Structure 1
Amino acid sequence: MSSSHLGRRIVSVKPITVPAPGRGVDLQVKVTAPLSGRSLPVIVFSHGNAWSLDGYEPLVDRWAAAGFVVVQPTHLDSRRNGIGWDDPRFATIWRVRIADLHAVLDGLGDILLQAGGLDTRVDRERVAVVGHSWGAQTAGALLGARVLDADGVPGESFSHPEVAAGALIAATGTGDTLTPFAAEHLPFMRPDYSAMTTPALVVAGGKDQSQLSTRGPDWFTDAYHLSPAPKSLLTLAEGEHTLGGIAGEMVAETTDEDPARVALVAEAVSAYLLDAFQLDVTAWAALQNAAEAGDGAWSISGK
């Protein structure tokens, strides 16, 4: 199937199975790419809780139209696997999610080959990880973030040498204000961003009130404020957790439907990564200028 965004034709190939021993369920990915172009940068995208490789087309299609090859795995927590909060496997899914991204990166050459010979059209020096919600915490681990244990000691590093930049959309904040439900079921939601050294854009909604934390929307800016430079922060004043509907049009989770907001998130991520990869510095600069000259609906900070 192919579709057109911004006038550039793209194509998606799915499912491609990725070797992931001991996982219990096959690891499958979808690859979306522009039909033309060479030396293309790569985004590996981690979905939010319960989603799959079939979600987030409003973002993925725009990124492919902007010249990225996007690889989307389906994690174990996908609805299609039926693993709920009370499943004994749920407690370790956060680790399997991270392992999924490592498997995709380690097997990227074969994945791209199976996606119509894309292996000859990408730039393996320009690989980014991006995620939304739980996927943002997953992606953050590959950028250098760690998880604190019950005693507040940072766990192992899951960073990946091929990852040169990233973007975290609605990323979990620190774990000291988790609600009782979150503390019981999601003890891994205790990120330590102090070692997240890889360049990244953090995207947060000014009206994103999590049911998992007693803090307000500023919880979702911790990944920016608590990590080392270089980082950028895009804040969308009216944005809730789906930031206008990034997982798909009219999906149940979308409480703040706004196609323009979705387009802005997509554009900001692609512009930031093109700048970070030194492929195009004009789009990100233009967005920063527009934010400064705008009406406060969105803002960009940097360090």
Structure 2
Amino acid sequence: MEKVASTIADLSVIKTLSTPVPVISVSPVILSVPGRGNDLQVRISAPVTGNRLPIILFAHGFGSSSEGYAPLANFWAAHGFIVIQPTFLDSRMLGIPHEDPRTPLIWRFRVDDMKCILDQLDLLEDAVPQLKDRSDRSRIAAVGHSFGAHTSGLLLGARLINADGSLGEDWSDPRIKAGVLLCASGRGGEDLSPFAAEHLPYINQSYAGLTTQTLVVAGDQDNSPLTVRGPDWFTDAYTLSPGAHWLATLFGGEHLLGGISGYLVTETSDENPARVAAVQQLTWAYLRSALYPEDPAWETVRTWFMAHPDALGRVDGK
């Protein structure tokens, strides 16, 4: 087991690996999806330069939208990724009432939306002329936060557990080559709180089938009303899956990991720019090396962290 202490005082280590460039961002790009009830709105961000760019398909947390998570999306795009962010049906931006008949299957609509985007990459590129012929579709990653981590986890191989104990449908997608799960919900069953067991049965899940290479990120102060356990519940995707080989734990981190959901958002209870910078750098470096095995970014970042005695977090590997 490898443990790496880290402190993020600046971006010096990233500057040695990647020079940020200006970003173009287009929103909304509209996809018509039969049976969804609302058109699928997408934001696309990308660096102004570069070709054969890898793709991050990002799933937002409950109630957010394609307009959220700018600290992450902007950083990834400035450092060489095309970032695609859908607005899911649970977004506050859409205002769909809880009694809407689609609500019980919101989790399923989310997965379908992500697959729809993968199916219509040609259309998305045509909608943004600056992106034409600049993507590398052999290098696609799924990233998600909170409810979005649940969504991305299903694409990476996690599966729901039905009421009778059997496994639900396999939603994994071979087009996705790597993943990052930020504050992913943990094991279901007796680990769920009564509220979660009654109202959120879809987070009763198994990670045994998550075989896609994945980084799990969690905060050690992320106490959730969805579980009877403590913050370690958010590390289950790492401990219970064969594909998640790395776990980054951020000391003092709560559910928004210092403020990743947006700049100056009032919902952030643990505001910490250094913690956000840690998430930016760790996720970027991991995905670079996961999608390009010859790229030393992940090893370089972890080694750099080891040189700092003041621990902002740690990385465990298996």
| Aligned counterparts of 1:224 and 1:119: Cα–Cα separation in 2 | 36
Q: Secondary structure at the match of 1:163?
A: coil
Q: Among residues 279, 292, 297, which one is paired with 2:312 in the alignment?
A: 297
Shift of 1:290: 3.1
* Corresponding residue to 1:275 among 272, 277, 289: 289
Which amino acid in 1 is paired with 2:264? M
- Amino acid aligned to 2:182: I
Q: Is the 8 A contact 1:110 1:119 kept in 2?
A: no
The TM-score, its normalising length taken from structure 2, stands at: 0.90
Report how far residue 156 of structure 1 moved. 0.6
Q: Quick one: higher RCO (CA 8 Å, sep 6+), 1 or 2?
A: 2
Residue 196 of structure 1: which of 210, 215, 222 is its match?
210
Query: What does 1:68-217 align with in structure 2 at a 5 Å threshold?
Result: 68-176=81-189, 177-217=191-231
Q: Conserved in 1, the CA contact under 8 Å of 2:238 and 2:244? A: no
One of 233, 237, 240 as aligned partner of 2:254:
240
Does 2:57 match 1:57?
Answer: no
- Report how far residue 197 of structure 1 moved: 0.5
Task: List per-residue Cα deviations over 1:80-137 (Å, max 9, x = no partner).
Answer: 2223544432110000000000001111121122122414001110001100000001
| Count of paired positions | 299
In structure 2, the residue corresponding to 1:120 is in which secondary structure? coil
Deviates more, 1:172-181 or 1:160-169: 172-181
Contact 2:69 2:262 in 1 (8 A): yes
CA contact (8 A) 1:85 1:185 kept: no
Q: Within 1, Cα distance between the matches of 2:135 and 2:34?
A: 26
RMSD between aligned residues: 1.6
Measured in 1, the distance between the counterparts of 2:237 and 2:153 equals 9
| Equivalence for 2:269 | 255
Q: What SS does the aligned partner of 1:94 have?
A: helix
In 2, distance between residues paired with 1:124 and 1:51?
26
Q: Deviations over 1:200-225 (max 9, x none)?
A: 11000011111111110100000011
1:33 matched to 2:11? The reply is no
**122-131 or 174-183, which deviates more:** 174-183
Give the aligned residue type for 1:225: T
Q: CA deviation at 1:230?
A: 5.3
| Range that drifts further, 267-276 or 228-237 | 228-237
Aligned partners of 1:76, 1:212: CA distance in 2, in Å? 21
Q: What's the offset of the Cα at 1:6?
A: 6.2
Name the SS for the 1:14 alignment partner: strand
Look up the SS of the partner of 2:55 in the other structure: strand
Provide TM-score, normalisation by structure 1. 0.95
**Cα gap change, 1:166 to 1:211, in 2 (>3 Å):** same
Larger displacement relative to structure 2 (276-285 or 263-272): 276-285
Larger deviation, residues 235-244 vs 245-254 = 245-254
Aligned-partner Cα distance in 2 for 1:125–1:293: 35
1:171-227 residue CA offsets vs partner (Å, 9 max, x unmatched): 010112211221121110112110000001100001111111111010000001100
Alpha-carbon distance change, 280 to 261 in structure 1, aligned in 2, over 3 angstroms: farther
Aligned-partner Cα distance in 1 for 2:74–2:49 = 14
Please give the alpha-carbon distance, in whole angstroms, between the structure 2 residues aligned to 1:280 and 1:239. 31
